[in-house]
Amino acid sequence: MTTSTDAPRKLWGETVSLYRDLLKVMVPVMVAVKVAVELGLVDLIAGYFAPVMMLVGLPGEMGIVWVTAIVVNPYAAAAALVTLLPTTALTGADITILATMILVAHSLPIEQRILQQAGVSFLFTTILRLVAAVLLGWLLDTGYGISGTLQEPAVIAWLPAGETDPGWITWLVDSARSLAIIFVILMVLLALLRAMDTYGLTRLIARAMAPVLRLIGIDPATTSMTMTGVLLGITYGGALIMREARSGRVSRKDVFLSSCLLCLSHSLIEDTLFFMALGAHYSGVFVARLVFSILLVALIARVLHRMPERSFNRLLCSTPTA
């Protein structure tokens, strides 16, 4: 029999478990970035990222944050961002652009391997995500610049004000406070996701998106697995895509298009809300990312349907693993 305390206890357990895993990644990243700041390595490293960051209107230091996301995951990138914020002036547009680029291209070694097992080219999808992230970042920078929106300095109320060059003791205290608040954010996000499932909001969003997927050329047979990934992440959606790819019930081109959409726009609820809590604006991390992903996949679908089967198999596919 379910009691009134079961749900809060389960939510607490899930939050603690997830938070423990995140700390194993976030704390080393925060320490490494702090050491790099103290040794003056951030300015040196930023020089290598400056050309790409300049394209999207960001300081070179933010390249470290994006590369952390690419190699590790978005939460590690958030840890790097939190560490650099006291020493780097950013606008609301800057944080939104950076967060959007992170959400398009992150965790590439793991996530692209998952899709490779479904029969999609690791190289193509990796290049797709990196190029798409920079292109979308440039479009957002241009749009925000022309419209004059989000140009005020970014203020994240829950972060410690901090000093421009804090000592280790101050940094440790501020970092501990930031990590504690991130725990609260995670708990709220998990509670929100559970409520959305309980009241059918997740299924409602999936049904609303289904006609859009059909319009861009994604077969109705793949709609369910595609929307699972779009809403909840590549780990979930990728597992379903792998199962369907191995079953032979859907064509390789349909698997490929579903994977492309998943690459560009996944975990649309949890990751979006997390970065909005870090100061990103919904116009970038949700609206622009989703619209851009749909339009780009629609373009890929048009090219794909004209491509000879032999060329498609040779250039864009891998052999699914058993």
Q: What is the 3-state secondary structure (H, E, C) of 12-56?
A: HHHHHHHHHHHHHHHHHHHHHHHHHHHCCHHHHHHHHHHHHHHHC
Element (H, E) at 67: helix 62-71
Q: What's 91's DSSP letter?
A: B
- Residue 322 predicted with pLDDT over 60: no
pLDDT at 1: 46
125-139, 195-209, 278-292: segment of lowest average pLDDT = 195-209
pLDDT, position 193: 73
Q: CA–CA separation, 153 vs 86, rounded Å?
A: 12
| pLDDT tens-digit readout, 187-236 | 887 888 788 778 877 677 777 777 777 777 777 667 766 777 777 777 66
Taking 90 as the threshold, does the pLDDT of residue 315 lie above it?
Answer: no
pLDDT at 65: 92
Please check the confidence at residue 164 and state whether its pLDDT lies above 60.
no
How confident is the model over 107-124, as pLDDT tens digits?
Answer: 898 888 888 887 889 999
Tokens of residue 91, six digits = 């606008």
CB contact at 8 A, 189 and 274 = yes
pLDDT for 320: 54
Q: Are the CB atoms for 230 and 238 separated by under 8 Å? A: no
**Whole-number Å distance between alpha carbons of 237 and 61:** 33
Asked if residue 21 has pLDDT above 90, the reply is no
Q: Tell which wins on pLDDT, 161 or 77.
A: 77
More confident residue, 3 or 242: 242
pLDDT digits 0-9 by tens, 23-60: 887 888 888 888 887 887 877 877 888 899 999 999 99
Is the pLDDT confidence value at 157 over 70? no
**88 or 284, which is more confident:** 284
Measured CA to CA, the distance from residue 88 to residue 305 in angstroms comes to 46
Least confident of 29-43, 66-80, 308-322: 308-322
pLDDT of residue 166: 65
Whether residue 279 is predicted with pLDDT greater than 80 in this model: the reply is yes
Quote the CA–CA distance of 202 and 196 in Å, as a whole number. 6
Average pLDDT, the chain: 84
d(CA 71, CA 54): 21
Long-range own/partner contacts, residues 194-199 (CB < 8 A, 24 or more apart): 194/11, 196/269
Residue 137 has what pLDDT?
98
Residue 276 or residue 158, greater confidence? 276
- Tens of pLDDT along 232-274? 777 666 666 777 667 767 778 888 888 899 899 988 888 899 9
Low-confidence winner among 57-71, 148-162, 212-226 (lowest mean pLDDT): 212-226
pTM given for the model: 0.85
Longest Cα separation, the chain: 62
What's the distance, Cα to Cα, between the start and end of the chain in Å? 41
80-107 pLDDT per residue, tens: 998 888 778 899 999 999 999 999 999 8
Q: Domain boundaries in the chain?
A: 6-316
Phi, psi of 250 (to 5 degrees): -125, 155
